[in-house]
Amino acid sequence: MNLRNRVQLIGNLGSEPQIREFGNGRKLARFSLATTDVYKKEGKYVRDTQWHSVTAWNRIAEVLQDREVSTGSEIIVIGSVVSTKFTDREGRERKVSEIVADSIMIRRLKRAEAKLEKSIA
């Protein structure tokens, strides 16, 4: 475990996880995560939302798929930041950063899902 490149985010899914399964049985989940901070500026409260791209492999991707988490569900992601450089179609060099999840915890399903889960229990 690399403690120098470690991130913990608590936020809401901004998109349904997109799950891909590869020929060798590996699974990949990609989704966006919104984190919101509230702070006071010039006497007024301000909400600052940041968007993060998250990638999760294998067992974590399976958990996201099995639990059918959806947009709005609150989760905790623990992982590391990975940056990748590439050249786009126009020949410009781009840099993309994403969070590669080592673990997740589902804190709260979207409201409609939570009501359904309570009624089933």
Identify the CATH number of the domain in which residue 65 sits: 2.40.50.140
Residue 2 covered by a domain: no
Residue 1 covered by a domain: no
Exposed/middle/buried for residue 33 (C-beta within 10 Å: 0-12, 13-18, 19+): buried
Domain count, the chain: 1
Residue 37 covered by a domain: yes
The one-letter code for the residue type at 101 is A
Give the per-residue pLDDT at 119.
40
Residue 85 covered by a domain: yes
Give the per-residue pLDDT at 114.
47
Mean pLDDT, residues 6-29 taken together: 94
Cut 0.75: pTM above it:
yes
Joined together, the tokens standing for residue 15 give: 């998109």
pLDDT for 58 beyond 80: yes
pLDDT for 48 beyond 70: yes
Residue 14 covered by a domain: yes
pLDDT for 36 beyond 60: yes
pLDDT digits (tens, 9 = 90+) for 77-121: 999 999 999 999 999 999 999 999 999 999 876 654 444 444 443
101-114 burial, b at 16+ Cβ within 10 Å, e below that, comes to: bbebeeeebbeebe
Q: Report whether 8 contacts 52 (CB < 8 A).
A: no
Domain with 65, as residue range(s), is: 7-120
Give the per-residue pLDDT at 117.
47
Give the per-residue pLDDT at 4.
87
Residue 58 covered by a domain: yes
